[in-house]
Structure 1
């Protein structure tokens, strides 16, 4: 009986932590542009402060972790641009590349911020900020649907 409980616990833990891997986030802009071009899909660039931005953390839970977004994500190329405060989250080289993208595509430094791009890096639309009091991701779903439909 103990083996069965242990086995079931492992399955549950694996499914909970494995959900994070359902989304295929790229972190290299040039790779994202090439994948976008090859697959004829828009890029969804997500600016986040993964370890300090409370609205980013809530958006991850309310939007990115949903089955609805997981289905939508099949029609876009996901690019995460993380600007964490802790230096053990991403490499120094990655942080430098991310800050460069921040200076080009997110000059106001708003977090969270989602920017849709074509394969050349041309901005197709933006969706920024997230209300921690309302926690309503509907405008994000509408934004992604619009980008997919218009691309």
Structure 2
């Protein structure tokens, strides 16, 4: 009986792992560029805010989609958090995040996603739309970059 329980627990754990990949998010562009150069991978910069419901839905629609899971190993992930935009903040992490938003997301739209090359140059366009057709089209675009 114990073997049977262990067997099903093992199968369940494998199934759970395969359904939800864990992405390794960086918060520093310099680190993301180093990893991109070392692994010859494209950087995906994701702009989000903690209290943004649309950001949470966008995250699920893009990063948890089966289509994205099949290509996720080809990217370095950079999360740019726009939650704290206090212009008077002296926290270096907040300042760095704000600078990335100003440079790569000029409209300060959340959620947003943009591909960057190993030098931090934009590839394609920033996607700010959370509708299914635009997300599918962007995943097609990402797929074209890795072929």
Q: CA deviation digits over 1:84-133, x for unaligned, max 9? A: 25x9xxxx44322111101111111112111111111111122322246x
Greater Rg, structure 1 or structure 2? 2
User: Which region of structure 1 is more displaced relative to structure 2, 25-34 or 62-71?
Assistant: 62-71
Change in Cα spacing, 1:114 to 1:136, as seen in structure 2 (3 Å) is closer
Compute the RMSD of aligned alpha carbons.
3.0
For normalisation by structure 1, the TM-score amounts to 0.72
Superposition TM-score, scaled by structure 2 size: 0.74
Report the alpha carbon displacement of residue 34 of structure 1 after superposing the two structures with TM.
0.4
Matches within 5 A, 1:1-151: 22-49=22-49, 51-84=50-83, 92-131=91-130, 137-149=135-147
Provide the rounded CA distance (Å) in 2 between the counterparts of 1:124 and 1:79.
15
Q: Deviations over 1:24-43 (max 9, x none)?
A: 11111100000001111111
**Cα distance in 2 for residues equivalent to 1:16 and 1:95:** 35
In the aligned structure 2, how far is the partner of 1:60 from the partner of 1:115?
13
Compared with structure 1, are the counterparts of its residues 62 and 30 closer, same or farther at alpha carbon in structure 2 (3 Å cutoff)?
Answer: same
In the alignment, the residues of structure 1 paired with residue 21 and residue 96 of structure 2 have an alpha-carbon distance, to the nearest angstrom, of 23
Q: Distance in 2 between matches of 1:12 and 1:94?
A: 39
Name the CA distance, whole Å, in 2 between partners of 1:57 and 1:23: 15
Preserved contact between residue 58 and residue 135 of structure 1 (Cα < 8 Å): no
